[in-house]
Amino acid sequence: MSKKSFRQAINEALAQEMERDPRVVIMGEDIAGGLGAPGEDDAWGGVLGVTKGLVGKFGRERVLDTPITESGFIGAAAGAALRGLRPVAELMFVDFMGVCFDQIFNQAAKFRYMFGGKATTPLVIRTMFGAGFRAASQHSQCLYPIFTHIPGLKVVIPSSPYEAKGLLIQSIRDDDPVIFFEHKVMYDVEEEVPDEPYAIPFGEARFVREGDDVTIVAFGRMVSMASQAAEALAKEGVSCSVIDPRTASPLDLPTILESVRETGRLVLVDEASPRCNLATDISAQVAEQAFDALKAPIRMVSPPHTPVPFAPALEDEFVPNAEKIAAAVRSTMRAPSKQAAE
Amino acid sequence: MAAILPLTMPKFGLAMTEGMVAAWQKQPGETIRQGEEIADIETSKITSAYESPVSGKLRRQVLEAGTMAPVGALIGVVADDAVPDAEIDAFIADFQSRFAASQAEAGAEAAGPERVQTAQGTAQYLAAGPAEAPVILFIHGFGGDLNNWMFLQPALAENFRTIALDLPGHGGSTKQVPAPDAAGLAGFVLAAMDALGIPAAHLVGHSMGGAVALAMARANAERVLSLSLISPAGLGVEINRGYIEGFIEARRGKHLTPLLQSLFADPTLVGQDMVETVLRYKRLDGVEAALRAIASAQFPEGRQAASLRAVLDTPRTPAQVIWGMRDAIIPAAHAENLPAHVKVTLFDAAGHMAQMERPADTAERIASLAGGGI
């Protein structure tokens, strides 16, 4: 056991699964180190260095630099998965998914169903998402709600280095296509991560902390924001549960419902654009199934419905943070008449 | 002369660096006796009662309930009535300034677990105490690890070389368990002793680790200096089948929590961090298979497979048995009808984990059998 960054945890998961299973291959733009010239091997390791070192360990047969053609290599990865490999494709920024939607939505996600359960597609697509990196509106989106919408895809959003390693190993061992979301601001976050391989099952939410008054549900980077808010609120005498569902699809709704039945209050934190995101989805399901348990309206903390701004001051204002989450929690604790007036 | 005695944040286990006074059990002005519970101390792993190291009158609670402080920080002051308040104020001020200085010097140098390659795979262990002293070797139970000894290892490390070992399939040791019965695990412990250059040791075995210690005494008596068995397996047939099977199956906190609570007489000792630590262990590759192999070799159909009572028949190896009367995993009745030379200690207010619920008393008995004090 030692301290590892989010980046190291992902690298270690890839290396250990490649070690364990010769069918695991990785592919993507610049993940090996450039154009295939020997001197450049391992110089690069992907745009943020996540796959650095892997081509040296496993060779160019299993660590494939691809052309800048997402439609080509994501399609190739889906086909390879169908034929028995277990490819992990890196699609740099999730913002670029648009050019390979057909390969993902109509092909990879549908193979098992269209072939009557006789085919499996053990494909993982790793991709970066999220704002706060000063990367402007075409490189900062949180597009996981779009993938959550598609039956046949699994959607994973790790919230820490420990979670990233265990969830990526589970993703690689899973027989269905998995979209694995890495928040680009988290790569240098460190915590204790076991050296041994381990898998965290999908569809099992994690209680980051347990409290009595309010349930906060958050994904990815927002989990640590929610924990900071809960910490501050505890000093005011407001006790919060913080739930990290870990996977948007499958979603551990029973755990969320159970917690809401205990607290009677729900705050949903989602860094994705506010229309049709995970917060609205969970809000609707809780309202439908546990309306009787609610003591206050459900609150949602999301950015405004705009592209992610490039101006630093605006970007900082755009992203949900602990203060905004705490304010939403406080609003659920007020008397019902005041809530109605807001 | 009227003495002023400091009460400081205790160190429960080698990894503990800070703790919180969760609640005071004694108020200023009350007289306290040595060994009496005076406060509840909460760490990231567990909440435990703090037994007063001294007797006298509690004059001050320096730390309010709910305050975190590093190990060694002043939490209270004991002095008799003759000492004026001003002297106590001066004592506190002096202690605080010296403590702050020593904290600044100390830095971070806490020793963590180490690993050694043995003839039977990697063994993880936590060592503490003087290298030349006689060795006390701790062997945990089913699903446990070296952290099970955190409350008494520091005390015993004063006068002994203490080694808390992770069995195969557990903690940071190899997850390969080719010989999952008690004799097989005993072989692993002997291999670890070989690798560490330990010819013989005082063995402390808890639960399944007790059966492992008995198996070592049966096969290699010359390497066992004494046996301290805490709620050991191997002395009867009954064992809580629901616990064993539930522990293997549990993948979620809500399933694991009640099982862990059943280990203790006081279920509030089980915190969320303890549950998360066990879940993280259970997720490691190979752990579930190892636990299943061990359970089916040692506890098939919810009965204990090996009877090792005969090992205690001869007084060749000094032995004692320590049991919590409220043990819900292995009945304390298994301590009955043992030969007269086996000392039996029963604790009223303890469950299956006497080493965590009655650490000071348990450590004292271990040291006493091993021929030394604390």
A206-341: CATH, from 3.40.50.920, 3.60.21.10, 3.30.1360.120, 3.40.50.1970:
3.40.50.920
- Cα B128 from Cα B125, distance rounded (Å): 10
pLDDT of the residue at A110: 97
Residues B142, B99 within the same domain: no
Residues B79, B143 within the same domain: no
Cβ contacts of A210 on chain B, cutoff 8 Å:
272
% of chain A surpassing 90 pLDDT: 88
Identify from A16, A198, A202, A231 which residue to disrupt to test chain B contact, counting B C-beta atoms within 10 A and taking the largest count.
Answer: A198
Give the chain B residue whose CA is nearest to the CA of A255: B254
A194 with B285: Cβ contact below 8 A: no
B280 with A204: Cβ contact below 8 A: no
Give the residue numbers spanning the domain of B33.
Answer: 4-104
A1 with B284: Cβ contact below 8 A: no
Residues B18, B158 within the same domain: no
Tokens (6 digits) for A313:
């001051």
Minimum-distance CB partner of A210 among B252, B272, B286: B272
Residues B158, B118 within the same domain: yes
Tally of structural domains, chain B: 2
Cβ contacts of A2 on chain B, cutoff 8 Å:
none
Cβ contacts of B172 on chain A, cutoff 8 Å:
1
Residues B187, B80 within the same domain: no
- Cα A280 from Cα A284, distance rounded (Å): 6
Per the domain annotation, does B176 fall within a domain? yes
Can you tell me whether residue A88 is helix, strand or coil?
strand
% of chain B surpassing 70 pLDDT: 95
* Domain A2-193 bears CATH identifier 3.40.50.970: yes
Confidence tier at A140 by pLDDT (50, 70, 90) = very high
pLDDT of the residue at B206: 98
- State how far residue B284 is from chain A, nearest Cα, in angstroms: 4
Higher pLDDT, B26 or B211: B211
pLDDT tens across B208-253, in order?
999 999 999 999 999 999 999 999 999 999 999 999 999 999 988 8
- State how far residue B287 is from chain A, nearest Cα, in angstroms: 9
A196 with B253: Cβ contact below 8 A: no
Minimum-distance CB partner of B283 among A200, A209, A210: A200
Minimum-distance CB partner of B252 among A194, A204, A210: A204
Identify from A162, A191, A207 which residue to disrupt to test chain B contact, counting B C-beta atoms within 10 A and taking the largest count.
Answer: A207
Per the domain annotation, does B139 fall within a domain? yes
List residues in chain B touching A: CB distance below 8 A: 172, 175, 251-253, 272, 280, 283-286
Residues B180, B257 within the same domain: yes
Q: Average model confidence (pLDDT) for chain B?
A: 91
% of chain B surpassing 90 pLDDT: 65
A196 with B272: Cβ contact below 8 A: no
A196 with B284: Cβ contact below 8 A: yes
Domain stop point among B36, B70, B104: B104
Identify from B20, B115, B275, B284 which residue to disrupt to test chain A contact, counting A C-beta atoms within 10 A and taking the largest count.
Answer: B284
Residues B264, B328 within the same domain: yes
Q: Average model confidence (pLDDT) for chain A?
A: 93
Give the chain B residue whose CA is nearest to the CA of A208: B272
Sequence-separated (6 or more) residues with CB below 8 Å from residue B331: B236, B238
**Where are the CATH 3.40.50.920 domain residues in chain A?**
206-341
Cβ contacts of B286 on chain A, cutoff 8 Å:
196
From the list A87, A93, A19, the residue with the least C-alpha distance to A53 is: A19
DSSP-derived secondary structure letter, A40: G
Q: Which residues pair with B7 in a beta bridge?
A: B76
A200 with B285: Cβ contact below 8 A: no
Q: What is the dihedral of CA B11, B16, B21, B23, to 10 degrees?
A: -90
Residues B184, B282 within the same domain: yes
Residues B251, B340 within the same domain: yes
Catalytic residues of A: 139
pLDDT of the residue at A73: 96
pLDDT tens across A262-311, in order?
999 999 999 999 999 999 999 999 999 999 999 999 999 999 999 999 99
- State how far residue A193 is from chain B, nearest Cα, in angstroms: 10
Higher pLDDT, A140 or B14: A140
pLDDT tens across B277-326, in order?
999 999 999 999 999 999 999 999 999 998 999 999 988 899 999 999 99
- State how far residue B174 is from chain A, nearest Cα, in angstroms: 10
pLDDT tens across B323-352, in order?
999 999 999 999 999 999 999 999 999 999
pLDDT tens across B36-51, in order?
888 988 876 677 888 8
pLDDT tens across A20-66, in order?
999 999 999 989 875 555 666 666 788 888 998 899 899 999 999 99
Minimum-distance CB partner of B285 among A197, A201, A207: A197
Confidence tier at B373 by pLDDT (50, 70, 90) = low
- State how far residue B282 is from chain A, nearest Cα, in angstroms: 9
% of chain A surpassing 70 pLDDT: 94
Residues B64, B176 within the same domain: no
Q: Which residues pair with B68 in a beta bridge?
A: B20
Give the chain A residue whose CA is nearest to the CA of B283: A198
CATH number of the domain that residue B148 is part of: 3.40.50.1820
Q: What is the dihedral of CA B18, B22, B25, B29, to 10 degrees?
A: 70
* Residue spans of beta strands (DSSP E) within A41-189: 63-65, 86-93, 124-129, 154-156, 178-183
pLDDT of the residue at B106: 55
Higher pLDDT, A258 or B101: A258
Per the domain annotation, does B374 fall within a domain? no
For residues B211 and B306, is the Cβ–Cβ distance under 8 A? yes
Cβ contacts of A201 on chain B, cutoff 8 Å:
251
Tokens (6 digits) for B118:
């043995």
A198 with B175: Cβ contact below 8 A: no
Query: CA-based angle B81:B84:B90, to the nearest 5?
Result: 125
Domain stop point among B104, B124, B141: B104
pLDDT tens across B83-114, in order?
888 888 888 888 888 887 777 655 444 578 99
Minimum-distance CB partner of A194 among B253, B272, B284: B284
Residues B95, B173 within the same domain: no
Residues B35, B169 within the same domain: no
pLDDT tens across A210-229, in order?
899 999 999 999 999 999 99
Domain stop point among B104, B136, B167: B104
Strands of the A63-65 sheet, one edge to the other: A63-65, A24-28, A86-93, A124-129, A178-183, A154-156, A247-249
